[in-house]
Every structure is written in structure tokens, then in C-alpha cells.
Amino acid sequence: VAMQTPRRFVAAVVLAIVAAVLAVRTPRVEGAAMEVVRVAAVKHIGHAYTRGHSYELLPTVYYGHRSLRDMTHADAAFFIGRGIASMVMFPAPGQARSRSELLYIPEQLIWYVVVFTAAIGFIAGLRCDPLVTCLLAGYAVVALVAVGVHSGNMGTLVRHRAFALPYLGALSAFGAAALLSRYGSSKQGRYGTDR
């Protein structure tokens, strides 16, 4: 129902955001949400202390100095935000520490292209088949956010985010097709004929 017109979709998104904000402000939901974030932070810290190329998502004081029970809402938001960003950006080419990580750079560059074209595919897919597009995007986002906030090791992050690749791959293929179609139509309009 929400996907039948753009206005309904915008209204549904705004309504969902307002409902989520109001729900999180109730003490019971707020406590449950913070507990979920703390559990994710414990798993992240466990990964961050493993051998290999680890990274930190929490403020530095939580790594051995402060209890996660002291985590504030701002710290939780910082953790979730960095987890989402890390899932897309890490391992950045400048973070390579070894030859094996240098060899991984081409795959990471392909990952950036997949994420970019998947975003375009999501927008284009909403115009063609919003239900399938939202299903694919929903599965991808849930998998990527779960991986992003639980990881703390580059190798683990790379392996686990593959759970989202079937869904991202479909959106990415559609996005690439939309880009090629747009490029082809603009080229045809410029020259007047197909070449």
C-alpha cells in the first residue's frame, strides 16, 4: 500500500521515523535498545582483540578502561554510526598493512562500485517494482548493519559482509543497467541515431 504512489511512500517513511522516535523515548524500549547495543559492543570488542588487523568503533575509553554499562546514548549513536560507515568503507586502500591486504585493494574498489550502483539500483527499482526493491534492500541493510556493528577485525568484516552480496548484487546489476540505459539514451539524443 505504501509503495503505490511516491506520496504514500514518503508519508510511510515519515510515519515510521516518528513512531520509532516516540517508541525509543519510552523507558522500556529505550532500555531494551541500549541492551541490544551493549551486546553488539561486547561482540565488537571481542573481535577487536583478535589477532590480525583490528579496528575500533567505540570511543577509546571503552577498550579496557570503562564498563559498557556506562555507555551513553551519544556513545551508542557514535558506535552504530561508525559500524555502518565501517561496513561500507573498510578496509580503505590506505589502511593496508601487509602484502595480502595490498592484494585485496582491487576487490575493495569493486565493493565500492557495487555499493554505489546498488544505491542507484534502489532508486531506479522503486520506480519499476518497489516491493521487490524494498525486499532486496531490506535484506541487504539488515545483514550489513548486523555485520558492521559486530565486527572489529578487517578479515572478519570482509568475509561476513558477503551475506549481503546476493541482494546487493541484484540491486547493483539493476543500477548498472539503469546507468547504461541513461548513458545510451543521452548518447542517442546527442547524435540523433544509434551508433
Q: Taken in order 31, 143, 155, 78, is the CA torsion positive or negative?
A: negative
Q: Cell digits for 119?
A: 544505491
pLDDT digit string, tens, across residues 6-21: 788 788 889 998 998 8
| Cell 568503533 sits on residue | 57
Distances (CA, A) of 20 to 9, 81, 140, 177: 16, 17, 21, 35
Classify residue 92 by its DSSP letter.
P
C-alpha cell at 131: 516491493
Owner of C-alpha cell 565500492: 112
Distance in angstroms (rounded) separating the CA atoms of residues 55 and 52: 10
In tens, the pLDDT along 71-102 reads 888 888 889 999 888 888 888 888 777 777 78
* Number of neighbouring beta carbons within 10 Å of residue 120: 18
Torsion on CA atoms 138, 144, 149, 151, rounded to nearest 10? 160
Amino acid 122: pLDDT: 94
Q: d(Cα 16, Cα 56) in Å, to the nearest integer? A: 31
pLDDT in tens, the chain (195 residues): 777 777 887 888 899 989 988 887 888 888 888 899 899 998 888 888 888 788 888 888 888 777 888 888 888 888 999 988 888 888 888 877 777 778 878 888 999 999 999 999 999 998 888 889 989 999 999 999 888 888 888 888 888 888 999 999 999 999 999 999 887 766 666 555 554
pTM for this structure?
0.77
- Rounded distance, CA 171 to CA 120, Å? 8
pLDDT of residue 114: 95
